[in-house]
Amino acid sequence: MIIEKIRHYFSLRAFARGMAVILAIYALLAVFIILQQDSFREKQQARMPSLTVLIDGVDIPIDPPPEVTTSTEREEAPPPEIAARQPEESPSVDQQQSLPEAPLAGLYERTANGILPVIRTSDGMSAFEAYRRPYQARAGRPYIALAIDGYGLSRTASESALRTMPSSISLILSPYAEETDLWVAEARARGHEIWLKLPTETDNYPLEDPGMDTLLVNVAESENIQKLLNVLGGATGYAGVVSDHSSVFMRTGADFRPPAGMIFSRGLGMIDGNTSRNQTLASMASGHNMPYGTVDLWLDMDHQAQADILENLARLEQIAKERGYAIGIIRPLPVSYQTVLEWLDGLPAKGLDLAPLSAVGALP
């Protein structure tokens, strides 16, 4: 009897010890999981584009872009204070200058197609004027306006552009990018002005298909207008639109006039992807007091070798020196990024300035 009690006593002690060990193991696992979640969260945040403005090495957070709701009312709230429309003097060295968060009051209306730009009734401010990066060409100093196409499509390429490119280089947002408002907010926080890609039928269509909202020749006007509204309503905070390389649509008067009229009437600038000036488009832009320009060179469209890109950049320099300005566009390719960054180091010594794409708006 005594022996049985002793056995029972030691069995209870062993059981208690076992339970204590198990509870201790569960406690350690809980602590480990919590630490791993914090580490995982930090890694995920590091992979996302930071919504911060970098000033002297200090991270200053900004608010996320506003949520979009559907209605047809115009926003006519009192306009906020905006930085001077034109600075007194352009800095000799490219500096990061955070741009106002979009959309600005009175410059948009909410529609079934999304938020669309409008000219503000209180003071006549246009989206082009409000969302451009301030720039004033220096007397006797030619400038080159550069832009990166396809912004927002590739997270890696887009983040690389934000990290490495001077803020005077403009970014052309793809209408098919995901989270367009986040990409716009991040770019503007870092000083880059945004333009919106306008998908149009090209000489190589349909072999090269710009997507479901492509404006096409020889289709009903209403169809192209609906596609245009889809594109314009997909983002906010852009200064204008840029059409595709070798756009046959922009060369067909009967087709491009209605969409172009809507673009200009909504206060947007236009950069024609064709390298020859369209006088009809230029006249329409002038009638709406909106800027119109043409791309001088797609720097890496036909050749992607560094030597070929450098040759095109040299041609761009010559155009700028002869005419006073030049417009060039690159695609989000590693070789293009590397070539442009190396080329930019020598630009001041050549008597040339770097300008945003909207600098075309300052032309007579």
Separation of alpha carbons 190 and 132, rounded Å: 13
**Could you say which of 47, 67, 82 is where a domain stops?**
47
Same domain, yes or no, for 43 and 150?
no
Classify residue 94 by its DSSP letter. Answer: -
Tokens of 205: 């269509």
**Could you say which of 31, 47, 63 is where a domain stops?**
47
Beta carbons of 297 and 146 less than 8 angstroms apart: no
81 domain-assigned:
no
Q: What are the angstrom distances between the C-alpha of 11 and each of 21, 25, 32, 254?
A: 15, 21, 32, 95
The whole-number mean pLDDT for each consecutive block of 10 residues of the chain, a chain of 364 residues, reads 50 57 56 44 40 33 37 43 34 66 97 97 97 92 97 98 97 97 97 98 93 96 98 98 95 94 98 94 95 96 91 98 97 97 96 95 52
Range of the structural domain that residue 35 is part of: 1-47
55 domain-assigned:
no
Same domain, yes or no, for 141 and 253?
yes
Task: For 206-335, list the strands marked E by DSSP.
Answer: 238-243, 269-272, 292-294, 297-298, 325-330
Tokens of 172: 């052309």
CATH code of the domain in which 328 resides? 3.20.20.370
Same domain, yes or no, for 187 and 327?
yes
Same domain, yes or no, for 24 and 144?
no
Q: Can you give the pLDDT at residue 3?
A: 52
294 domain-assigned:
yes
56 domain-assigned:
no
Ramachandran category for residue 123: left, alpha or beta (phi over 0 → left; psi -120 to 50 → alpha): alpha
pTM given for the model = 0.76
Beta carbons of 263 and 224 less than 8 angstroms apart: no
198 domain-assigned:
yes
- 267 bridge partner residues: none
What is the domain count for the chain?
A: 2
335 domain-assigned:
yes
Closest CA to 49 of 233, 166, 179, 169: 179
Same domain, yes or no, for 7 and 143?
no
Same domain, yes or no, for 141 and 248?
yes
273 domain-assigned:
yes
151 domain-assigned:
yes
Q: Can you give the pLDDT at residue 44?
A: 37
Same domain, yes or no, for 43 and 138?
no
